[in-house]
């Protein structure tokens, strides 16, 4: 049971047998007004009986007192983080400016952060608190999802601090520890601290060691310390294990949160709802009906000035090892007994452990590099011409692999994973293509494709069912049609950004949406043989024009099994 410091006004009415409207159990149904306590909000529960009489009671919930409004079984109220400090390393980077800082503000604007909240930035810049606050303000003004509210910003501003220093600067980390202690006293954050490492993996060990050396990683029953690690989780299996050992030297396993922002997307979570809340799909979700599965993440941009990060990493490490293998695990896993972290991890781990690397690397994998071409009506440069890229680089910007799962449900069904930059459009989807009907009693079915269930992750979030239907005419002509579900038209509430959900879950200590170390290691065991083959191969990445759907070699790879790539 989670609890927080909250003021509640409770108005319940005395029930009289003469005037009360009875229900099936002989009780009056009170009408409630509920608001959560957070930035600029109050918590109120009010009720009135049929006679109109009212009684009021006010209580302050502290210590071990249980707030009945925070019962985890009650889904009517959103979960609100308790008093805490969020420390961000790497606050000068694009991720912090475009995603993390706006997500913090959006959480505050939605009333999901407590009044007792602190935000601390750590970087080399010669800034004061006010300078960092302006950076946050500008990031919020440009990238926040929710409208700007001055009262929310003013309350958030009271807890913003900045510490200048290098990762190997002992005095800087002493100042950081002192700043956090001051926030604990001034903002009542009670020693609860989360450290977000939006920094290169090579700096993890230095930062974690400094945090431990200066006493910022301890936790007990009265307070907590957590660390958040951004992908990539290493660059191979060995480095991933080293990273886990570094984090584990200072933080307990339940305090380590590995961020894969795709798992925070509503549409990714909807994969589980789509599968396990609907009886109509489960009977066909297996090798008796599915011929093959395609999981695609395409981007319509290049490396966008990130040559220092991307060159040497490549598409496979950047996307397949985390995003696409996680999507594959969620698509293929068995139904968990519950959706807590342990059960979800157990089912995903079973899938990842059963995935077999390609048997023939030369014919079941493909890598490519985009070359100059036309995209969006403009002429764009090739990868080797991008600023900061080694002109002899063999880093792939296109990667495709064919994988199989050795279990009863999916035996014999190939899963094709592909990711690339400079594609015609930005799209992420999971497409389950069904087998053709064994007999078609129609004369003209040449244009008829296969049935498909397409889970659209982004940007047009939703689900598409493709099937055949008769064309209105006197002839029995069959044509492919689609049935669409779209989030935007079906729900009035806009989906929160993935980082909003994930940052809130870190502050709540709720781990289901974060990959566990077993999943990370299994993913590297799948991908490492592919990367080793490419590294040892004399064949360079295949060229593909910017604005195209990839190299012809990738089309040949899937055509060997009698299939073609979808055009999303």
Q: How far apart are CA 145 and CA 496, in angstroms?
A: 8
**CB atoms closer than 10 angstroms to residue 214:** 17
E strand map for 72-156: 84-89, 117-123
DSSP 8-class letter at 464 = E
- Integer Rg of the chain from CA: 27
Q: How far apart are CA 503 and CA 499, in angstroms?
A: 6
The three-state secondary structure class of 486 is strand
Helix (H) or strand (E) holding 179: helix 170-187
Contacts 24+ apart (CB under 8 A), 490-496: 490/462, 494/145, 495/265, 495/266, 495/267, 495/461, 496/106, 496/110, 496/145, 496/266
From the number of C-beta atoms within 10 Å of its C-beta (0-12, 13-18, 19+), residue 215 rates as: exposed
Q: How far apart are CA 166 and CA 170, in angstroms?
A: 9
Residue 224 φ then ψ, to 5° = -135, 155
E strand map for 459-555: 462-470, 478-486, 542-545
Structure tokens of 142? 């440009």
Q: How far apart are CA 549 and CA 547, in angstroms?
A: 7
Structure tokens of 541? 């990445």
Burial state string for 217-246 with b = 16 or more CB within 10 A and e = fewer than 16: bebeeeebbbbbbbbbbbbbbeebeebbeb
Q: How far apart are CA 123 and CA 127, in angstroms?
A: 9
Structure tokens of 267? 């549409």
Question: Quick one: angle between helices 129-143 and 101-109, nearest 10?
Answer: 80
Which residues participate in catalysis according to the annotation? 323
**Contact between 90 and 229 (Cβ < 8 Å):** no
Whose CA is closest to 60, among 6, 114, 11, 12?
A: 6
Q: What angle do CA 342, 315, 351 make, to 5 degrees?
A: 30
Those residues whose C-beta lies under 8 Å from the C-beta of residue 321, and which sit 6 or more positions away, are: 232, 233, 523, 524, 527
Measured between its terminal Cα atoms, the distance across the chain in Å is 44
DSSP 8-class letter at 443 = S
User: Chain-centre distance of CA 566, in angstroms?
Assistant: 24
Helix (H) or strand (E) holding 178: helix 170-187
Whose CA is closest to 235, among 259, 199, 200, 263?
A: 200
DSSP 8-class letter at 319 = I
**Contact between 397 and 423 (Cβ < 8 Å):** no
């Amino acid at each position: 049971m989670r609890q927080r410091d909250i003021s509640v006004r409770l108005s319940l009415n005395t029930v009289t047998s003469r005037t009360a409207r009875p229900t099936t159990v002989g009780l009056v149904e009170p009408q409630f007004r509920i608001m959560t306590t957070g930035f600029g909000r109050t918590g109120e529960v009010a009720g009135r009986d049929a006679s109109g009489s009212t009684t009021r009671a006010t209580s302050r919930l502290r210590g071990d007192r249980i707030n009945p409004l925070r019962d985890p079984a009650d889904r009517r109220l959103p979960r609100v983080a308790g008093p805490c400090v969020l420390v961000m390393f790497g606050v000068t980077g694009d991720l912090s400016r475009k995603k993390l800082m706006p997500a913090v503000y959006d959480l505050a604007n939605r009333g999901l952060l407590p009044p007792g909240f602190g935000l601390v930035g750590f970087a080399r810049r010669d800034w004061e608190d006010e300078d960092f606050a302006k950076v946050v303000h500008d990031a919020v003004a440009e990238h926040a999802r929710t409208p700007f509210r001055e009262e929310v910003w003013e309350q958030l501003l009271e807890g913003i601090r900045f510490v200048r220093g290098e990762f190997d600067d002992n005095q800087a980390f002493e100042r950081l520890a002192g700043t956090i202690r001051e926030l604990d006293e001034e903002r009542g954050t009670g020693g609860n601290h989360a450290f977000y490492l939006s920094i290169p993996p090579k700096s993890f060990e230095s930062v974690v060691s400094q945090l431990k050396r200066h006493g910022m990683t301890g936790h007990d029953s009265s307070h907590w310390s957590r660390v958040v690690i951004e992908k990539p989780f290493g660059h191979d299996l060995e480095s991933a294990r080293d990273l886990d050992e570094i984090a584990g030297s200072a933080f307990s396993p339940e305090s380590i949160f590995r961020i894969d922002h795709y798992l925070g997307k509503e549409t990714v979570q909807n994969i589980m709802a789509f599968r396990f809340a609907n009886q109509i799909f489960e009977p066909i979700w297996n090798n008796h009906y599915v011929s093959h599965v395609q999981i695609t993440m395409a981007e319509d941009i290049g490396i966008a000035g990130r040559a220092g990060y991307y060159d040497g990493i490549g598409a496979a490490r950047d996307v397949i090892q985390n995003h696409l293998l996680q999507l594959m695990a969620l698509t293929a896993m068995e139904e968990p007994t519950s959706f807590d972290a342990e059960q979800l991890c157990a089912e995903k781990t079973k899938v990842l452990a059963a995935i077999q690397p390609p048997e023939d690397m030369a014919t079941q994998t493909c890598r490519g590099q985009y070359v100059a071409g036309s995209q969006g009506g403009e002429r764009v440069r090739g990868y080797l011409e991008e600023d900061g890229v080694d002109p002899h680089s063999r880093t792939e910007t296109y990667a495709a692999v064919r994988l199989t799962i050795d279990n009863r449900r999916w035996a014999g069904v190939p899963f094709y994973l592909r990711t690339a930059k400079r594609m015609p459009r930005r799209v992420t989807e999971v497409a389950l293509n069904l087998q053709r009907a064994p007999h078609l009693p129609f004369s003209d079915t040449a244009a008829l494709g296969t049935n498909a269930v397409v889970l659209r992750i982004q940007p047009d979030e939703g689900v598409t069912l493709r099937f055949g239907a008769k064309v209105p005419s006197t002839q029995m002509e069959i044509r492919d049609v689609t049935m669409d579900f779209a989030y935007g038209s079906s729900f009035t509430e806009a989906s929160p950004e993935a980082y909003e959900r994930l940052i809130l879950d870190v502050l709540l200590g709720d781990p289901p949406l974060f990959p566990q170390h077993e999943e990370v290691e299994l993913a590297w065991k799948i991908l490492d043989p592919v990367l080793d083959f490419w590294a040892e191969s004399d064949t360079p990445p295949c060229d593909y024009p910017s604005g195209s759907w990839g190299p012809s070699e990738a089309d040949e790879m899937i055509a060997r099994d009698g299939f073609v790539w979808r055009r999303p």
